[in-house]
């Protein structure tokens, strides 16, 4: 195939949109040009913010998330988070003992919890603890440790030690990224560590995640997808993610 550079770039972007990724080797073969030429093409397209290069291939956007404060994140995907939180709160039963992790989806979850007889809530989120503490018939246990200011949440070994003393029925977990291969992630390694302790302390792992989190990666890995029991998300989830989650035995609830 003999085409000029502008046509080649157009075809690369069309293929990327269709398949979700392109590789240097396949493009080199398809266009009958050297891998060096293709790498230059991808570099130029990346500089124009039209794709993201990664290990001999390119994908539509940068999968790596950056740390943002709660005040910034709370403004994003507000309606989706509200619907997700409402659905999560509906699964709480009398005499449950639940863990609320941290993040804006979890804070919204705290806002949606109704007074529930015999409910016990353990949480690392300072904001969630304050919200839930206003409810009657609900006992709140605030984890201790170091305050992570960007998320107004507790991290560190003191909180992890506390979690080792409890067993809870459900964990409601917010994440910064969900990758089909790498699993659940957050932007902070100490946050990831206390999330792991929460998983060990819970019988059922419920992830609250709007669809913007899929295909993203944070610095700290929390766990693989095999640890997850349920994902509650919005209706913009891509079908291939939904199918993969279902194959893994994860209950996917779309709201």
| CB count in 10 Å sphere of residue 199 | 19
**11: part of which helix (H) or strand (E)?**
helix 5-19
Same domain, 144 and 212: yes
> What is the extent of the structural domain holding 36?
5-59
- Residue 41 forms part of a structural domain: yes
The tally of CA atoms less than 13 A away on the side-chain side of residue 129 is 15
Domain count, the chain: 2
Same domain, 140 and 161: yes
pLDDT digits (tens, 9 = 90+) for 65-118: 766 566 555 556 789 999 999 999 999 999 999 999 999 999 999 999 999 999
Same domain, 248 and 156: yes
- Residue 19 forms part of a structural domain: yes
pLDDT digits (tens, 9 = 90+) for 166-196: 999 999 999 999 999 899 999 999 999 999 9
Q: Round to whole Å and give the CA distance between 168 and 137.
A: 17
Identify the CATH number of the domain in which residue 209 sits: 3.40.50.1360
What is residue 215's DSSP assignment? T
The set of residues, in sequence order, having a beta carbon less than 8 Å from that of 4 and lying 6+ positions away, is none
What is residue 212's DSSP assignment? G
Confidence check: pLDDT of 1 > 60: no
Same domain, 151 and 201: yes
Nearest to 187 by CA among 211, 213, 163: 213
Q: Where are the alpha helices (DSSP H) in 20-95?
A: 24-31, 35-47, 70-73, 78-90
Same domain, 100 and 46: no
Same domain, 91 and 51: no
- Residue 64 forms part of a structural domain: no
Same domain, 25 and 88: no
């Amino acid at each position: 195939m003999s085409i000029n550079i502008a046509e080649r770039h157009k075809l690369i972007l069309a293929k990327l949109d269709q398949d979700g990724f392109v590789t240097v080797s396949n493009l080199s073969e398809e266009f009958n040009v050297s891998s060096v030429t293709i790498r230059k093409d991808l570099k130029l397209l990346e500089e124009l913010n039209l794709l993201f290069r990664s290990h001999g291939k390119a994908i539509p956007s940068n999968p790596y998330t950056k740390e943002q404060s709660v005040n910034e994140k709370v403004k994003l995907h507000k309606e989706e988070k509200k619907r997700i939180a409402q659905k999560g709160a509906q699964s709480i039963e009398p005499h449950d003992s639940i863990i609320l992790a941290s993040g804006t989806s979890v804070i919204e979850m705290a806002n949606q919890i109704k007074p529930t007889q015999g409910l016990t809530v353990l949480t690392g989120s300072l904001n969630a603890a304050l919200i839930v503490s206003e409810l009657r018939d609900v006992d709140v246990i605030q984890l201790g440790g170091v305050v992570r200011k960007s998320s107004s949440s507790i991290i560190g070994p003191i909180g992890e030690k506390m979690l080792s003393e409890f067993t809870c029925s459900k964990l409601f977990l917010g994440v910064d990224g969900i990758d089909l291969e790498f699993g659940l992630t957050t932007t902070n390694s100490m946050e990831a560590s206390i999330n792991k302790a929460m998983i060990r302390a819970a019988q059922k792992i419920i992830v609250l995640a709007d669809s913007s989190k899929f295909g993203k990666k944070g610095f700290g890995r929390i766990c693989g997808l095999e640890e997850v029991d349920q994902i509650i998300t919005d209706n913009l989830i891509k079908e291939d993610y939904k199918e993969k989650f279902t194959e893994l035995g994860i209950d996917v609830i779309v709201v």
